[in-house]
Amino acid sequence: MKKITCLALLALLFVNCKQTNSNEEVKSETKPTDTTAVVKEEKKAEEKEDCKDIEVEMGSGRECILKDTDLANVYQNIIKNKEVEESEYFLSAIPNESKSVEINKNGLISIEYQITKDKVAIAMNYEGGVTEVTLEKINNTVKRSIYHYAD
């Protein structure tokens, strides 16, 4: 009788372990499909964006060529995706003429906008350096340059 009870308990334990393993297998099977979707989205972004890192004296930078877009969309994406620190202090839209905006928060002193035809240059003046963002419209593409300079 003790042997039958032990066998029954072992059988229940074995079945329970088997169910737990099959639940884990089901969970792991769903992850690759999510990963595949993310990889496809990243490939789409890479197709429209060609970037390279640039070394500059006393700083660093990154230049990207963005296809099939305009200055306003690239500017909004910088704010939305926080591609530059303190981009939340940017004006909500590109101004029509050159201007300077005093900020004086988080070490950011001011933001200067230089507006010319098909080009926007934004200088973020910090206590310890400058971040320059340049957007230049070239045909159906936009060249986005972001440079960080130390004092």
Closest CA to 77 of 60, 62, 61, 94: 94
Decide if 84 contacts 131 (C-beta within 8 A). Answer: yes
Name every residue whose Cβ is closer than 8 Å to that of residue 115 and which is 6 or more positions away in sequence: 94, 95, 96, 97, 98
Query: Which segments of the chain are extended strands (E)?
Result: 49-56, 59-67, 99-105, 108-116, 119-126, 129-138, 141-150
Tally: H helices and E strands in the chain: 2, 7
Q: At 50, list the tokens.
A: 């060609």
Q: pTM score, two decimals? A: 0.67
How does pLDDT run across 29-78, given as a tens digit for each residue?
544 445 444 444 444 444 467 899 988 888 899 999 999 999 999 999 99
The 8-class DSSP code of residue 132 comes to E
Lowest-confidence pick of 6-15, 45-54, 110-119 = 6-15
Decide if 32 contacts 40 (C-beta within 8 A). Answer: no
